[in-house]
Amino acid sequence: MGTARPSYRDALLDAAAEQFVEHGYRGVRMQDVAAAVGVSRQTVYNEFGDKWGLAQAVVLRDNDRYLDGIDRILTEHADLYSAVEAAVRFTLEMSADDPIKKMVLTGAGGGELLPLLTTRAEPVLFTASARLVEHALAQWPEMERAALTEVADAAVRLTMSHLVLPSEPPARVAGFVARMVTRYLGTVTGTPSHDSQDTQAGATA
């Protein structure tokens, strides 16, 4: 049997996401995912390779949905500082209630999926960085691509590290990442939010 038709892919990912959240990685069987959609187990293997490939596809699609939200947020801000601050805060706050992120980060049913956001997170990091760079260049074409690519990668990695191991409130992290990005690019044109101002005042008190 050939690769699953495109109409099946989202249905398979929906079924897999639900089962990963409910049963954890160890409790999911390819046969059960196939049965939920009404296709053969071989069809699932043909589409995703193995259970790890299926899990990776679920996480990548979840990440794409976050990036869609970030794209929307970036367009709502005229200056880079405010845009980055809002995007990082959105990511951290929304992730706290995302069942896929919770399942990966808490190791529900086993910790096998945590590498998708840590040691084997390159597909997620690359996709996020690339999309952010293209969006930023479209919105602020005067930016230098090379510098933006460097700092976008650093910002994504830093944000991801706070997803995996939170150490500060989302607002404080968002302000720090926004300052890092704008200072690196030399484009500090926005005004920090009240949360960020309070954070900076506390740091200098």
Which of 91, 89, 66, 83 lies closest to 174, judged by CA?
89
Instruction: Looking at 28-121, list the stretches that DSSP marks H as alpha helix, in order from N- to C-terminal side.
Output: 30-37, 41-48, 51-75, 80-95, 99-106
Taking only the tens place, the pLDDT of each residue in 145-173 is 999 999 999 999 999 999 888 889 999 99
Give the global pTM.
0.78
Taking only the tens place, the pLDDT of each residue in 41-85 is 999 999 999 999 999 999 999 989 889 999 999 999 999 999 999
> Where are the domains positioned within the chain?
1-49, 60-204
How many Cα atoms sit within 13 Å of 106 on the Cβ side? 15
CB 55 within 8 A of CB 113: yes
Q: Which CATH number fits domain 60-204: 1.10.287, 1.20.120, 1.10.357, 2.60.120?
A: 1.10.357
The CA distance from 68 to 174, in Å, is: 18
CATH class (in words) of the domain with range 1-49 = mainly alpha
The CA distance from 13 to 16, in Å, is: 5
